[in-house]
Amino acid sequence: MNEKKMPLSKEQLEKIAVKYPTPFIIYDEKAIRNNARHIYRAFSWVKGFKNHFAVKACPNATILKILREEEMGVDCSSLPELLLSEKAGFEGEDIVFTSNDTPAEEFAAAARLGAVINLDDIAHIETLEKSAGIPELISFRYNPGDARTGNVLIGEPREAKYGVTRDQIIEAYRVMKAKGAKRFGLHTMVASNELEDKYFIETARMLFKLVVKLKQECNIKVELVNMGGGIGIPYHPKDKAVDLNYISSGMQDLYRQMIVPEGLDPLKIVFECGRLVTGPHGYLVSKVRHIARKYKNYVGLDACMANLMRPGLYGAYHHITIPGKEDLPNKNLYDVTGSLCENNDKFAIDRALPLVEKDDLVVIHDTGAHGYAMGFNYNGKLRSAELLLKDDGSVQLIRRAETIDDYFATLRFNNAPVIV
């Protein structure tokens, strides 16, 4: 069991809500920093270990700066994410650019920043060469297809649009070497929100094998292995968090068995985890607008799917607590809903909660990654504010809520002819 606790009391939240109306997301700085340190401690045996935080998980400059202070890099997949990372102070190889179906200008921007460019497809070599030239350091994203590692299921990589196939990968490196690349990385990512520890050890085995093969077949010494993101978090109180120390020591064993004897040490190991870093440390705080009693009982919130898509999109579980009622028995069954004209705009279905009343605050847990970031404006819903609960207990606005003016900003209200 992992207990789902909120670092703020009902009274504190009510005070915050006077200044910043609900809904809002609040991130816990201290917990994020502690978590980052925990991740780095677990992999301290790796020379040059880094987690390149996946910007898409939480694209907020203040959060990115905190992570930079904790020695993290970033993983970007688009031009805006690259520019946001630059603004947050990241540069050079602290930035990994893992994109797909990439436009030429994005390769150019990644090259300008000195980012590690991670190619998703062999057809991208030409686009990269034309837009930015051949960089000294190049990486490929590997998709193993049917080559499952060990006996652990790794999803259906064959169905994934990402990565260079098993038949293409050796040739891809040969081509880049012939074109003048001098330094090489290798990347994979074929899982998401994976809670099985062994999976990540098997991923390391698969990549280490390929690193050895690249040395033997093309005399290429890979210096950087990127295990991707996808480490899951325990959304449900009954889920078990991954054991990073177990994963790390399993990888270390393989490193000693496979990498060191081949003279490939030091090999830098990095990750691109987003969810693992900030996911558990963001809370969507909302207020009950109405309790509706129809064929079922509904708790109608002032937040909606535009603030958090995961339940509606994937049927994902997010824990819900009612501040001040944490210790009351969960005797009532509710659907917890938003206000979109979409029947899947539900944060929870048949959820057992204490008796919920109008104006109660409601906390939706584990919304620190892929929460705000996936927001949208459907039904004219405006995106919420993002707040930071700082180390010293104060609260800082790190992104204001959208206004109607923001919503209207891209529209043309007059009929002036368009001059092309």
Ligand X SMILES: *Cc1c(COP(=O)(O)O)cnc(C)c1O
Footprint of ligand X (CB under 6 A): 54, 56-57, 75, 98, 189, 192-193, 228-231, 272-276, 369
Smallest gap from Cβ 13 to ligand X, in A, equals 27
Smallest gap from Cβ 339 to ligand X, in A, equals 28
Token output for 237: 């109180």
Closer to ligand X by Cβ: residue 122 or 382: 122
- Parallel, antiparallel, or unpaired: how do β-strands 320-321 and 361-364 relate? antiparallel
Smallest gap from Cβ 153 to ligand X, in A, equals 17
Closer to ligand X by Cβ: residue 193 or 367: 193
Closer to ligand X by Cβ: residue 40 or 407: 40
Smallest gap from Cβ 179 to ligand X, in A, equals 24
Contact predicate 243/200, CB 8 Å = no
Closer to ligand X by Cβ: residue 97 or 184: 97
Three-state DSSP string of the chain: CCCCCCCCCHHHHHHHHHHCCCCEEEEEHHHHHHHHHHHHHHCCCCCCCEEEEEHHHCCCHHHHHHHHHCCCEEEECCHHHHHHHHHCCCCHHHEEEECCCCCHHHHHHHHHHCCEEEECCCCHHHHHHHHHCCCCEEEEEECCCCCCCCCCCCCCHHHCCCCECCCCHHHHHHHHHHCCCCEEEEEECCCCCECCHHHHHHHHHHHHHHHHHHHHHHCCCEEEEECCCCECCCCCCCCCCCCHHHHHHHHHHHHHHHHHHHCCCCCEEEECCCHHHHHHHEEEEEEEEEEEECCCEEEEECCCCCCCCHHHHHCCCCCEECCCCCCCCCCEEEEEECCCCCCCCEEEEEEEECCCCCCCEEEECCCCCCCHHHCCCHHHCCCCEEEEECCCCCEEEEECCCCHHHHHCCCCCCCCCCCC
Closer to ligand X by Cβ: residue 66 or 369: 369
Closer to ligand X by Cβ: residue 232 or 250: 232
Q: What is the Cα–Cα distance from 283 to 387, expressed in whole angstroms?
A: 10
Smallest gap from Cβ 307 to ligand X, in A, equals 18
Smallest gap from Cβ 187 to ligand X, in A, equals 8
Closer to ligand X by Cβ: residue 275 or 381: 275
Smallest gap from Cβ 39 to ligand X, in A, equals 12
Contact predicate 226/96, CB 8 Å = yes
Closer to ligand X by Cβ: residue 208 or 271: 271
Closer to ligand X by Cβ: residue 35 or 98: 98
Smallest gap from Cβ 281 to ligand X, in A, equals 13
Smallest gap from Cβ 54 to ligand X, in A, equals 3
